[in-house]
């Protein structure tokens, strides 16, 4: 474990033999194309489908008027969805809740016929006034529902934050705005429902949890569990968009039941903007300190959008009460319901916004104090969780600071902005701190060791491109002492042992621990076989003295380390006269022990930016990301995960934003040509390093934490801080596009209206 093993699924993906949700062929497949609403709010008064039905090959057009009966829809969506909440119910009734809402499904013998017919569907809608502008409705913000599962509301005020702020000699008061972002994975959301002759539905869906989707289909449509199998063997990226079952799944199953045929529904790229997004967020951060840099007060408030359907909530401000030592902290988080689809989790939900505002404000405070930004963070380093007083399970953040700064060359940074220039470009160096939760859930695993020395381990886990196939096989191989090529890990099938959705950077600590646990059960069974051997050399061997390597079981002397006895695993199975040995294991986290600690991953991000003021172009030319995430199971894959997070952080900082026409209430740049993401030319040197850490609280078996989210956290803040160091101009709204860099005066959040967004009334 820890070795940079190459992906076991790489060849399948590179050669095209890996099949994704929309790539499973079957005879007589029916194609579905979704018709969506161009109105943001209203009621459907009529659907005109005659012309569409007249297209050759069109079989049916489903809508709220003729959909199949769905059982206990409200109960499922309210209480059982993962993540919890009240998601949109497709074709539930005649109400239009947001622009882009699916209102009909055209079904045809060919995709071309379905697509053409969909263009002929006409709908009459009684339009009603809509609201989509967050900044115009901040005053009607409300507290999130306390019943929202998985949401931790801000803790109660600690000390006297406002009084301490007013009395402090150095104060920072800043407002921040972040626009809507969309996930935009390469693979569009798609569902292929293969209907067997016996009526069994085998469903290939783009999802981060096959069992989550199977539960939905079974529950909502009243189908017995044994009649539904959901598979997601390969997923072309998701980033949180596949945590909930999306409406393409419901529509495809609906059509398959109605027609009693196999059906495929694939969303278009514009339709990928019709569900879920990172919510638009406004924040205000106030920091106060003594002249020596000691924090006296932290006040952080945030207002984010949600939908009319539910209170989608994120942990945005809580980090500001945890990360730094301060006796006076006040945090507030509220929501504004708008006529948009519900936001949904997007890589590092909440932290990507909340940590950004905090870390930019900390940089502002450091500048006001004429203090090095890293020195300010070390001055206020929190050994314990500032909100709860609990110790951290592990916190190697100081090592991240030290090693990241040394790798970057931070000590050579001049204090004053606009101090470095090369040619027409100003050069700036910025840094920021990252923190994300370290979680472990429960999971089951099954293992089968065969007489030929091969091992098959199974769990209904997912691999959304993160390397789950590889890391789980690696854990199993290392535990059993087998070469990687003799180990197969099976995932992406709802019939396999239970596993959580892949999200929250928890899969390795959770499923990986289950894999190691089931392999250890196999080892104990093999020891019993060894004890039963005639004149067994293992007769007095204890389990703790065993070592598995090279396809054999060894008894190692506890004092000298010498091998006292060795036997091939295949020999043990042959002696026991069995073709295979099977074990099952349930991994349950020790919640009572975990609750005594705050469990988190940490990072320190150092960034170099070059800014051409004449053109308003900022280039991120160098990034060092130092991460503390427990034991690293595979340095190659973990580095790739963090590197991908850094790329996205740069994209968040400089490129990504979904624009809304508030007159239409509609997202407008719904394509990869208009929704800008970082391209290869935007990315330069990224250096990832992992500091030594071993967390036996988060995962007692492995000592591991997750790396999926921490890679993106605070990268945009480091970019923002570097832009300030280069130019002397503070940008507090993302993305930091050329028009904002070139705009005269301070950024809009400091009171300038040149950017086109008014200062929010306090």
Angstrom CA distances, 634 to 207, 425, 516, 580, stand at 24, 38, 15, 29
The pair of three-digit structure tokens given for residue 185, joined into one six-digit string = 């994975």
Contact 709, 347 (CB under 8 A): yes
- Choosing from 280, 554, 657, 709, the catalytic residue is 709
Q: Which helix (H) or strand (E) holds 282?
A: strand 281-289
Q: How many CB atoms neighbour CB 378 within 10 A? A: 14
- Exposure string (b/e) for 322-356, b if CB count within 10 Å is 16 or more? bbbebebbbbbbbbbbbbbbbbbbbbbbbbbbbbb
Q: If we measure between CA atoms, which residue out of 459, 449, 607 comes closest to residue 529?
A: 449
d(CA 563, CA 558): 10
d(CA 66, CA 55): 19
Contact 733, 750 (CB under 8 A): no
Q: What angle do CA 392, 394, 397 make, to 5 degrees?
A: 95
The values of phi and psi at residue 681, to 5°, are -65, -20
Contact 14, 234 (CB under 8 A): no
The pair of three-digit structure tokens given for residue 598, joined into one six-digit string = 């705050």
Contacts of 719 (CB under 8 A, 6+ apart): 430, 607, 609, 618, 620, 649, 650, 653, 654, 736
DSSP-assigned states of every residue in 659-710: -EETTTTEE---STTTS----GGG--EEEEEE-----TTT-TTT-B---TTT
Strands (E), 156-275: 170-178, 190-195, 201-205, 228-231, 263-266
d(CA 719, CA 649): 9
The pair of three-digit structure tokens given for residue 403, joined into one six-digit string = 């090693």
Order across the sheet with 102-108: list the strands. 58-62, 102-108, 30-36, 263-266, 190-195, 201-205, 228-231
DSSP-assigned states of every residue in 536-585: -TTTT--GGGEEEETTEEEEE-TTT--EEEEEEHHHHHHHTT-SEEEEEE
Is 657 among the catalytic positions?
no
Helix intervals (H) in 16-90: 50-53, 73-75
Question: Strand, coil or helix: what is 204?
Answer: strand
The values of phi and psi at residue 77, to 5°, are -70, -25
Contact 301, 287 (CB under 8 A): no
Q: How many CB atoms neighbour CB 758 within 10 A? A: 12
- Is the four-CA dihedral 671, 674, 675, 676 of positive or negative sign? positive
Catalytic annotation, residues: 709
């Amino acid at each position: 474990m820890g070795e940079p093993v190459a992906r076991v699924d790489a060849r399948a993906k590179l050669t095209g033999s890996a099949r994704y949700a929309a790539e499973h062929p079957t005879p007589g497949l029916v194609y579905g194309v979704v018709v969506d609403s161009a109105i943001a709010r209203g009621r459907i008064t009529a659907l005109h489908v005659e012309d569409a039905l007249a297209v050759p090959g069109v079989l049916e057009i489903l809508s709220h008027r003729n959909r199949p009966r769905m059982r206990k829809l409200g109960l499922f969506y309210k209480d059982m969805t993962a993540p919890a909440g009240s998601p949109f119910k497709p074709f539930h009734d005649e109400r239009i809740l947001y622009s882009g809402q699916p209102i009909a499904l055209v079904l045809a013998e060919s995709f071309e016929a379905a697509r053409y017919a969909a263009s002929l569907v006409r709908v009459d809608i009684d339009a009603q006034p809509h609201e989509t502008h967050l900044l115009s409705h901040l005053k009607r913000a409300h507290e999130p529902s306390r019943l929202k599962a998985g949401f931790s509301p801000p803790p109660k005020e600690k000390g006297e934050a406002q009084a301490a702020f007013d009395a402090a000699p150095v104060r920072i008061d800043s407002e921040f705005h972040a626009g809507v972002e969309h996930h935009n994975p390469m693979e569009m959301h798609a569902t292929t429902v293969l209907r067997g002759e016996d009526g069994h539905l085998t469903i290939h869906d783009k999802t981060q949890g096959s069992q989550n989707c199977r539960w939905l289909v079974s529950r909502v449509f009243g189908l017995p569990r044994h009649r539904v199998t959901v598979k997601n063997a390969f997923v072309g990226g998701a980033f949180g968009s596949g945590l909930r079952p999306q409406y393409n799944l419901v529509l495809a199953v609906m059509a398959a039941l109605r027609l009693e045929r196999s059906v495929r529904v694939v969303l278009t790229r514009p339709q990928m903007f019709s569900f879920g997004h990172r919510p638009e967020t406004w924040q205000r951060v106030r920091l106060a300190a003594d002249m020596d840099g000691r924090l006296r007060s932290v006040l952080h408030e945030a207002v984010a959008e949600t939908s009319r359907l539910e209170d989608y909530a994120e942990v945005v401000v809580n980090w500001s009460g945890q990360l730094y030592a301060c006796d006076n902290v006040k945090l507030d988080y509220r929501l504004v319901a708008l006529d948009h689809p519900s936001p949904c989790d997007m890589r590092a939900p909440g932290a990507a916004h909340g940590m950004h505002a905090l870390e930019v404000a900390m940089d502002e405070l450091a500048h006001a104090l004429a203090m090095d930004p890293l020195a300010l963070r070390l001055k206020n380093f929190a050994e314990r969780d500032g909100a709860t007083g609990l110790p951290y399970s592990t916190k190697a953040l100081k090592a991240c600071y030290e090693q990241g700064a040394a790798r970057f060359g931070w000590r050579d940074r001049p204090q004053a902005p606009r101090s470095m220039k090369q040619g027409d470009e100003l050069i700036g160096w910025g840094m920021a701190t990252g923190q994300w939760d370290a979680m472990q859930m429960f999971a089951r695993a099954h293992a089968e060791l065969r007489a030929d020395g091969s091992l098959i381990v199974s769990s209904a886990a997912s691999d959304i491109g993160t390397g789950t196939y590889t890391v789980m096989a690696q854990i199993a191989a290392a535990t059993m002492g087998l070469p990687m090529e003799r180990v197969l890990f099976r995932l992406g099938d709802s019939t396999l042992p239970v596993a959580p959705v892949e999200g929250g950077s928890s899969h390795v600590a959770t499923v990986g621990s289950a894999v190691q646990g089931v392999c250890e059960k196999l080892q104990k069974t093999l020891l019993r076989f060894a004890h039963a051997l005639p004149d067994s050399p293992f007769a007095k061997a204890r389990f703790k003295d065993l070592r598995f390597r090279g396809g054999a079981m060894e008894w190692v002397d506890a004092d000298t380390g010498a091998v006292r006895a060795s036997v091939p695993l295949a020999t043990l199975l042959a002696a026991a006269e069995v073709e295979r040995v099977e074990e099952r294991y349930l991994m349950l986290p020790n919640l009572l022990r975990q609750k005594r600690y705050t469990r988190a991953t940490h990072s320190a991000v150092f960034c170099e930016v070059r800014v051409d003021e004449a053109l308003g172009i900022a280039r991120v030319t160098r990034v060092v990301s130092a991460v503390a995430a427990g034991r690293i199971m595979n340095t190659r894959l973990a580095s790739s995960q963090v590197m991908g997070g850094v790329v996205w952080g740069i994209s968040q900082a400089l490129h990504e934003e979904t624009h809304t026409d508030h007159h239409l209430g509609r997202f407008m740049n719904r394509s990869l040509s208009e929704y800008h993401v970082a391209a290869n030319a935007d990315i330069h040197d990224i250096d990832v390093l992992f500091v030594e850490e071993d967390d036996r609280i988060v995962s007692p078996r492995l000592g591991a934490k997750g790396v999926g989210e921490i890679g993106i956290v605070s990268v945009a803040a480091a970019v923002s801080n570097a832009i300030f160091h280069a130019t002397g101009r503070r940008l507090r709204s993302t993305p930091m596009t050329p028009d904002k860099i070139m705009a005269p005066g301070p950024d809009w959040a400091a009171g300038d209206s040149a950017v086109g967004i008014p200062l929010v009334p306090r």
